[in-house]
Structure 1
Amino acid sequence: MAEDDSLGAYLRACRQRVGPADVGLPVHAKRRTEGLRREEVAVLAGVSVDYYTRLEQGRDQHPSPSIVRALAVALRLTPAERSHLFLLAGLTEPQSYTSETRESVRSLLDTLMPDPAYVVTPPGDFVAWNDATSILWIDPATLPPEHRNLAWMTLMDPRMRELWIDWESIARETVAYLRAAAVRYPDDRRLMSLLAELRAESTEFVDWWNQNDVVVRRSPRKRFAHPTHGEISFTNESMELVGEGLLFMVYVPADAASAMVCRTLCDKPHDTRRLRAVESTG
């Protein structure tokens, strides 16, 4: 994992994704490899070819903030990619998170019924969720604690492939998110364990991980294939809980028909399974 996450490997991957025409350089002949040459990146960033080569080869892993900014411009990095590059260069302190959330947040989840909503840790472990999540999706409480994880469910649970109409797009988003999280939380044992398991069990994960993508290209709509009610469309909103480092996510019906299905499926008495499930994650 360390080699895949290195500054040099990421610079190389970004360089190979940018063509000469993208940065205003002339293209005279077919190149043996895709992307920019090292000397071209060096010129664009205002550094020596030798220094840039040392960065890619891992012989210098601590560039200054000004050099990282110049490289980000030269490689036409997006804001997410730029932040990732700074993290790899050791210029941002690793972040932390909690493993439980406030009771007020749990109450908020219930007020959002019948819209599915939940809270997860950066590695994707479920901390709390409402009944709509269990009814319309897959109940996390039915899974072993180690697999009560959004990323694992998306990539490894065959039911998710049937549930998500655009499964591959969602799965790729998940891998891109995990790659960024691995740099934000490099010492997190739970995250490293999850990545090792996915690497060992999913060839798709390995392929997508090796693409070095950290840009979360969120689909405008998330489409579910309900077994009895057909397609249900949602828009997905997410936010980080300040002071906890947890991710709060809610799925809002994208149209009247989808909203009606949610109300129909959730408009019946429910037990306290959500509260028991929350307690069992501790």
Structure 2
Amino acid sequence: MWSRVGRWRSRVGGSSQFFRQDSSPAPAWTALGAQAITIADSLPTGPDPRPGTRGPGPGVRQDRRADVPPPPRGGKRTNALCDAAPWPPEHRRGRPVVSERPAARTPRQELGTFLRSRRDRLRPSELGLPTAPRRRTPGLRRDEVAELAGISSTWYAWLEQGRVRTSAQVLRAVARALRLDTAETAHVLSFVEETQPEAEPRTWVSRNLLTLVQSMAPNPAVVLDPHWDLLAWNAGYAALLTDPARLPPKRRNLLWLVFRWDPARTLLADWEREACALLGQFRAQAARHPQDRRYAEVVEEVLTDPDAARWYERRVTTRFQPAVRSFRHPLAGELRLRYVKLAAVDEPGHHFLAYLPDDRATEEAVCRLSGTG
């Protein structure tokens, strides 16, 4: 080995002087690269120190960076030229490419992850399928779901991997095979890619919608954008919950109020059920826009709550259902309010949410709370 390296060195540099390699062991996968770097770094990079010479022999590399420090004595040799190179670290020789932030997920990948979680939830015995003694997957296999849905196993595998664009007909067949409920089926169908791009939602409320919100007084009313940020509200809403004007702009969000505003847990009579349902609705909407920064900000803030983090990890998905919500207000007492949610056709992405009294006692309490009774 030494004679072979010495002869190569003599041919390149024109000198018969032998040099010593680093004797420290290297992993097997870096042995060849480390040997090449050690040999290259051992070549003389400046004028020949011997007197009477004009400079380096033909083929010897010249050092173009005079500020490169020598390797520490007794330490492990490194490629100093690469370490001092001006190009980004991910392009340096011998270093793995590490991304500073994870790549943004696409809607197809979100759909595939959701289908995979529901496939793992099912058991073969629930569908009358035979159970093998050495079954590796906790739930159904991909080929079993594909057979139940009437599609090829390869196509379903690509669907879970987010590699294909599919139709509503195929997604309905997959939903039936996975025994999805109504809300989960609607969530899956929402990933059908539209030919027309969605319009950017407005960050302001029109005069007509603002007049409608104010005319609902004393009943609470509010306008939400797609991220559930509060854009407009009336005095009844501020009296029922809190005045959003007192909160920082980033915290004027319905989901933030439910999970991060402390009085919400006592104000909502059935906080756990209501909060889990709202988080499922928000998750279903945010999953279709994985690259939206505002969705990511709201989710990051809300998931600091342990309950929200647990439910979000389970991928609970729900949809809005008109129902009667009970409140325990510290000033008005017990309130029973019906949620009414309407979409603004002339303002895409905006929703009008009103709280209507469900009985006479609640109607009188709402009037007293807003100061009109």
Which TM bucket (shorter chain)? 0.7 to 0.9
Structure 1 residue 73, shift from structure 2 partner = 2.6
**Partner residue of 2:237 out of 119, 133, 138:** 133
| One-letter identity of the residue aligned with 1:252 | L
**Partner residue of 2:313 out of 198, 206, 210:** 210
CA distance in structure 1 between the partners assigned to 2:270 and 2:195 by the alignment: 34
Please give the secondary structure, in 2, of the residue aligned with 1:232: strand
What are the Cα deviations for residues 101-155 of structure 1, in whole angstroms up to 9, with x where unaligned? 1112111112211111100111111110110011122111111111011111111
| One-letter identity of the residue aligned with 2:328 | A
What are the Cα deviations for residues 61-83 of structure 1, in whole angstroms up to 9, with x where unaligned? 43344432321232233454334
CA distance in structure 1 between the partners assigned to 2:196 and 2:182 by the alignment: 17
Q: Does 1:229 align with 2:332?
A: yes
Q: Indicate the residue corresponding to 2:251 in structure 1.
A: 147
Q: Does 1:243 align with 2:349?
A: no
Q: Aligned pair in 2 of structure 1 residues 195, 170: CA closer, same or farther (>3 Å)?
A: same
Task: Report matched runs for 1:179-198 at 5 Å.
Answer: 179-198=283-302
Please tell me whether the aligned partners of residues 38 and 49 of structure 1 are also in contact (alpha carbons under 8 angstroms): yes
Structure 1 residue 221, shift from structure 2 partner = 1.6
Q: Indicate the residue corresponding to 2:282 in structure 1.
A: 178
Q: Indicate the residue corresponding to 2:201 in structure 1.
A: 97
Please tell me whether the aligned partners of residues 123 and 190 of structure 1 are also in contact (alpha carbons under 8 angstroms): yes
Please give the secondary structure, in 2, of the residue aligned with 1:11: helix
Higher relative contact order (CA 8 A, sep 6+): 1
Please tell me whether the aligned partners of residues 281 and 320 of structure 2 are also in contact (alpha carbons under 8 angstroms): no
Q: Aligned pair in 2 of structure 1 residues 18, 147: CA closer, same or farther (>3 Å)?
A: same
Please tell me whether the aligned partners of residues 7 and 89 of structure 1 are also in contact (alpha carbons under 8 angstroms): no
| One-letter identity of the residue aligned with 2:324 | R
Please tell me whether the aligned partners of residues 6 and 88 of structure 1 are also in contact (alpha carbons under 8 angstroms): no
The CA RMSD measured in Å over matched residues stands at: 2.9
| One-letter identity of the residue aligned with 2:113 | A
Bigger Rg over Cα: 2
- What is the TM-score with the length of structure 1 in the denominator? 0.81
Q: Aligned pair in 2 of structure 1 residues 216, 89: CA closer, same or farther (>3 Å)?
A: closer
What are the Cα deviations for residues 245-276 of structure 1, in whole angstroms up to 9, with x where unaligned? 1110001111111111011122349xxxxxxx
CA distance in structure 1 between the partners assigned to 2:302 and 2:245 by the alignment: 21
Structure 1 residue 34, shift from structure 2 partner = 6.1
Deviates more, 1:253-262 or 1:11-20: 11-20
- What is the TM-score with the length of structure 2 in the denominator? 0.63
Unaligned runs of 5+ in 1: 270-282
Structure 1 residue 45, shift from structure 2 partner = 0.8
Please give the secondary structure, in 2, of the residue aligned with 1:158: coil
CA distance in structure 1 between the partners assigned to 2:326 and 2:162 by the alignment: 46
CA distance in structure 2 between the partners assigned to 1:132 and 1:100 by the alignment: 21
Count of aligned pairs = 266
Q: Indicate the residue corresponding to 1:75 in structure 2.
A: 178
Q: Aligned pair in 2 of structure 1 residues 234, 65: CA closer, same or farther (>3 Å)?
A: closer
**As a proportion of its length, which structure holds more helix?**
1
Deviates more, 1:72-81 or 1:133-142: 72-81
Unaligned runs of 5+ in 2: 1-103
Q: Indicate the residue corresponding to 1:55 in structure 2.
A: 159
Identity of aligned residues (%): 33
